[in-house]
Amino acid sequence: MKKDYYEILGISRNATAAEIKKAYRKKAIQYHPDRNPGDAEAEAKFKEAAEAYEILSDPDKKARYDQFGHNAFEGPGGFGGGHHMNMEDIFSQFGDIFGDIFGGSSGGFGGFSSGRSSRAARVRGSDLRVKLKINLEDIIKGGKKKIKIKRLVKAPGTQYSTCHQCGGSGRVSRITNTIFGRMQTTGTCPVCHGTGQVLERRGEGSDANGMIKKEDIIEINLPKGVRNGVQLRVGGKGNEAPGTNGIPGDLIVQLKEVPDPKFKREGNNLHYEMYVSMPEAVLGTEKIIETPHGKIKLKLEEGLQSGKILRLKNKGVPDMNTHQLGDLLVNVNVWTPKKLTSEQKEFFKKNFNHPNFQPAPSKAEKSFFEKIQDLFS
């Protein structure tokens, strides 16, 4: 079982962004491979801390982790973002932190030299956001969905070359004369912006970065019980990055729940309005209704009152975390006829004051407000 990300960094769940970064810097120094050569356990903890920082330093990923835990990042097309990182990923994505810790280009601890700082930063492509409409059947069954997108990719024929300014390292050093003497500072190359590469040749139809839009079909896993507005993240399926050493961004799919014409969703429960005729309510009958889980036969008792709520257990929507099914609440409405024949009117006139036709609710009969209260209790 994976450890809690907050526990890995030794911070509370209320930690600020600055406290999260500070905690990660501390762990990075403690378990850095240059300080622990050949120590497999230290390397594992170094990667573990980097994975925790990747999630907790991103407000979007952190919010999903706080809500769903590690389940938020399981499986392709899940809520995305969490993954086992290798050393190259860590030093490319969090190079600014290591630069601060290890003093610019040396990359080491006062005599230790990792040699990694000479490697140009891996540019990450931008995330691509799309909306996907889903219906009640999609929400209940979940499963795989295919969506068509257009994302940026490198155009055929596009070529990149090593940046002449930084020699491919992505960083440049500057020596400044101060009253304390000559000081050397290292920063991101202003020409290639840290990638170590510049565009040499643009492919046909490409933009200023050598990129074109390409249509692609992506398959995502739709979890059961998802709700309107939930975002699914598909790692590596966003826009590609310019250059040859970049990594693509992610595809973020925002779900838009289409209201169902028959059933109204309320959390994991469903509401269904069932109309019965006056004779059916008086004499009782059997009704067959179509539900998202198939056909169900309901036996209605004699003297059925309008406003009665019939609860069908486990016929609602599955919970997104536990997969426990909600209920289907059938709201009974007795239909009063608007047109009657003379004979029918005569029948009601004869029974207008008959005791059997007078409202006489028993103590067992609940008012409308009591029924509403029961639903939320």
- Specify the residue for token string 């799309």: 130
Residues 251, 151 share a domain: yes
Question: What are the φ and ψ backbone dihedral angles of 161, each rounded to 5 degrees?
Answer: -130, 165
Chain-wide mean pLDDT for the chain? 83
Instruction: Return the half-sphere exposure (C-beta side, CA atoms, 13 A cut-off) of residue 36.
Output: 15
Which domain does 275 fall in, by range? Answer: 263-376
Whether 115 maps to a domain, the answer reads: no
pTM for the complete prediction?
A: 0.62
- Residue 353 belongs to some domain of the structure: yes
The reply to whether 234 and 312 lie within a common domain is no
Number of domains in the chain: 2
Q: Give per-residue pLDDT as tens, 85-109.
A: 555 555 555 555 554 444 443 333 3
* Tens-digit pLDDT profile for residues 122-167: 788 899 999 999 999 999 999 999 999 999 999 999 999 999 999 8
Find all residues with CB under 8 Å of 23, minimum gap 6, and list them.
Answer: 9, 10, 11, 15
In this prediction, residue 140 carries a pLDDT of 95
Position 115 pLDDT exceeds 50 = no
The answer to whether residue 77 is domain-embedded is: no
Residues 331 and 367 reside in one and the same domain: yes
pLDDT at 97: 54
Domain match, 252 and 357 both: no
- 280 and 352 in a common domain: yes
With b for 16 or more beta-carbon neighbours within 10 A and e for fewer, the 256-294 pattern comes to ebeeeeebebeebbbbbeeebeeebbeeebebeeebbee
CATH number at residue 217: 2.60.260.20
Q: Are residues 234 and 295 in the same domain?
A: no
**Residue ending a domain, choose from 241, 258, 275:** 258
Instruction: Say whether both 238 and 316 belong to one domain.
Output: no
Same structural domain for residues 312 and 372?
yes
Distance CA 145, CA 151 (A): 18
Residue 187: pLDDT band (50, 70, 90) is: confident
For residues 252 and 298, membership in a common domain is answered with no
- Amino acid present at 58: D
Least reliable range by pLDDT among 59-73, 237-251, 266-280, 356-370 = 356-370
345 Rama sector, left if φ>0, alpha if ψ -120 to 50, beta otherwise: alpha
217 and 333 part of one domain: no
AA letter at 330: V
CB 129 within 8 A of CB 136: no
